Amino acid sequence: MRKNFITFLLLIITMVGLLQAQTNDYYYYRDQAILLSVVPDQIAVRFEQTLALQRTRGIIDSILAGRLQDISELYGKNSFLLKYNGNGDLLLLESLLTSFYTVPDVKAASKVYRSSYVNGQQIVLDEFITRFRDGISRQDIQSFNKVNGVTIKKKLNATTYLLAVEPFAQLTALQAANLYHDSGLTVWAAPNFIYPGGVLFDATVNDPF
């Protein structure tokens, strides 16, 4: 009886672990949803550009509370990849992300991902790229952006924009890219992925920028 109970308990623990490892995060590639798997014990953070390095390090140390193992710079000023000791706990990861977002000087904080389409890690902080359909007015774009807490960072051509999600928005850049893809206003929308470590990858065909 005791042996059966222990076996059942181990099964439950295994199932919980599998559920923790799952993610509903995805992005669109050629209108197909590509699932992303979370890399445990890593977080990407982008701070305000004017923030002093000493202040950024103070915020990191305060939130990670002795867990920090390694820090490396990412593309973009005041952007960092943090590796910490979390024993693969995804609930802890979510808690740390929430803590970073409570700091006014943090522009974005994100999980680190892998997918079957890329030979390496993928990070999306606060930016995504979208091509709007012909006939969508600038006023319509501005109105849709305002509702979703999104701003235009750069106009890339007549209908394509680099957009950024504001820290107060109720969605991440990954979620925003998917929202814009599904909105009916765009031809495509994709996260502006960062690929740490200079990894070689197959570029998303509909993201030439």
pLDDT at 207 > cutoff 60: no
Residues 191, 172 contacting (CB under 8 angstroms): no
Q: What is the pLDDT of residue 77?
A: 79
Q: What is the CATH number of domain 127-198?
A: 3.30.70
Q: What is the pLDDT of residue 5?
A: 41
What gap in Å lies between CA 168 and CA 107, rounded to an integer? Answer: 9
Residues 203, 120 contacting (CB under 8 angstroms): no
pLDDT at 170 > cutoff 90: no
Q: What is the pLDDT of residue 13?
A: 34
Of how many residues is the chain composed?
209
Q: What is the pLDDT of residue 1?
A: 53
Q: What is the pLDDT of residue 117?
A: 80
Residue 158 DSSP code: S
pLDDT at 88 > cutoff 80: yes
Residues 207, 191 contacting (CB under 8 angstroms): no
What is the pairing mode between strands 68-73 and 79-84? antiparallel
> What is the pTM assigned to this prediction?
0.82
Q: What is the pLDDT of residue 89?
A: 97
pLDDT at 16 > cutoff 80: no
pLDDT greater at residue 23 or residue 116: 116
pLDDT digits (tens, 9 = 90+) for 116-150: 888 889 999 999 999 999 999 999 999 999 999 99
Q: 81: how many CB neighbours lie within 10 A of its CB?
A: 19
DSSP states of 90-141: HHHHHHHHHHHHTSTTEEEEEEEEE-TT-SS-BB--SEEEEEEPTT--HHHH
The overall average pLDDT reported for the chain is: 86
Q: What is the pLDDT of residue 98?
A: 95
Q: What is the pLDDT of residue 7?
A: 42
What percentage of the chain has pLDDT greater than the value 70? 83
| Tokens 């930016």 found at | 127
